[in-house]
Amino acid sequence: MANVAVIGSQWGDEGKGKIVDWLSERADIVVRFQGGHNAGHTLVIDGVEYKLSLLPSGIVRDGKLSVIGNGVVVDPAALLQEIDTLTAQSVTITPENLVVAENVNLILKVHVKTDNAREKMRGAGKIGTTGRGIGPAYEDKVARRGIRLSDLTDESLLRERVSALVAHHNVWLEAAGEEAVMAEDIIAELLSMRDVLLSYCQPSWRVLAEALKTRKTILFEGAQGVMLDIDHGTYPFVTSSNTVAGQAATGTGTGPGTVNFVLGITKAYTTRVGSGPFPTEDFGDDGNRMGERGREFGTVTGRKRRCGWFDAVMVRQAGLTAGISGMALTKLDVLDGFEVLKICVGYDCNGERLDYFPANAADQAACVPIYEEMPGWSETTYGARSWAELPANAVKYIRRLEELTGIPVSLLSTSPERDDTILVADPFRG
């Protein structure tokens, strides 16, 4: 059985939660490898809806080990709140089925305050962060002043490091006219949660090494999407971590050869939350229709998502930079009833045709989509579980997306229900 990494091939919100849940039934371990509680997954199992932000999707399945890897930044209060919420929904969460890497960096209250103050000061030029302190926490990690979960085992060390970190942020906060943060308040909160948090704390790299030795199957669960990658995305309107499949190894402490198949979750149209370039965004009735039918609101923030046509250029680029092996196409049913469908096959950038999305912000803003049109279908695809149930034009649309992106469809999702999934090629068979 192959180990599979699941990532988003667009700007996130592609429907990874359902696909990971569908795949997790066949995996032994599900691992989160980057991001924080800015990412949201919604799972629907037997009519019950579960909303996850930090916990791996495998947590709702009996007999699965869930691991939060070292590449994730963890808000300890948010983690415990999520555990409590799921426990109230009769999900069993104990140190037996949840491991949190001892070297994860923690998101503190000062990170949240800094994050929101920065966005406020940017005004019209804001990046569109979720305001949950993700970026500042990653910054502190790279600057070697972050607080890690293992620091909670040594109170004197914890006090020293939190005091230094808060002093650093307070210089900026006070200069920005914000109230300073008290280090003692943060230390007291961490100490109040210490025993529960440390009960989940383990050297996760070692847990995974033992699992690989005994040929356990691992599902690596990414957050956001490739076009939000800190290196390969639409910088600076990106997240603060690498979202490509290579991060699955770095963010969990396993070697690059561990991942055998990369599944790129891909929406049948395109959405984006927050600011940043979006060449195929549709500001008219079609875009509104996609948003309404697709219930395009963020799981974590509740923010309305911007909607537009499928961008084959961007998905092809994501496939190449992230090493995507196969595509899981989601939300095809949202396109039911459209008379004409548009697919972006290139960009007109100041009179030059481009077959890739440029890195320069000015060029990105100048990119005008070049569309290819295809006839839509009037029949419903909702809930289809075989190719035979799909309208002929829907099949033609899927095949054209494969041709233009160079990525074969491995899975097709036709509703939020986990069983409304058409398996084309088994990712676990590599």
194: nearest Cα among 80, 65, 27 = 80
Q: Measured on CA atoms in the order 132, 136, 137, 138, is the torsion positive or negative?
A: positive
Please give the backbone phi and psi of residue 269, each rounded to the nearest 5 degrees, phi first. -135, -160
Q: Is 13 a catalytic residue?
A: yes
Position 198: which residue type?
L
CA pair distance 278, 302, nearest whole angstrom: 20
Q: Report the C-alpha gap between 223 and 56 in whole angstroms.
A: 10
End-to-end CA distance of the chain: 8
SS3 7: strand
What would the two tokens of residue 135 be? 């970026």
How many Å apart are CA 136 and CA 115, to the nearest integer? Answer: 6
Provide the CA 201 distance to its chain's centre, in angstroms.
23
- Of 41, 111, 169, 232, catalytic: 41
User: Residue 315 corresponds to which tokens in the numbers above?
Assistant: 């998905």
**Side chain identity at residue 103, one-letter code:** N
SS3 sequence, 368-413?
EEEEEEEECCCCCCCCCCCHHHCCHHHHHHHHHHHHHHCCCEEEEE
By annotation, the residues acting in catalysis are 13, 41
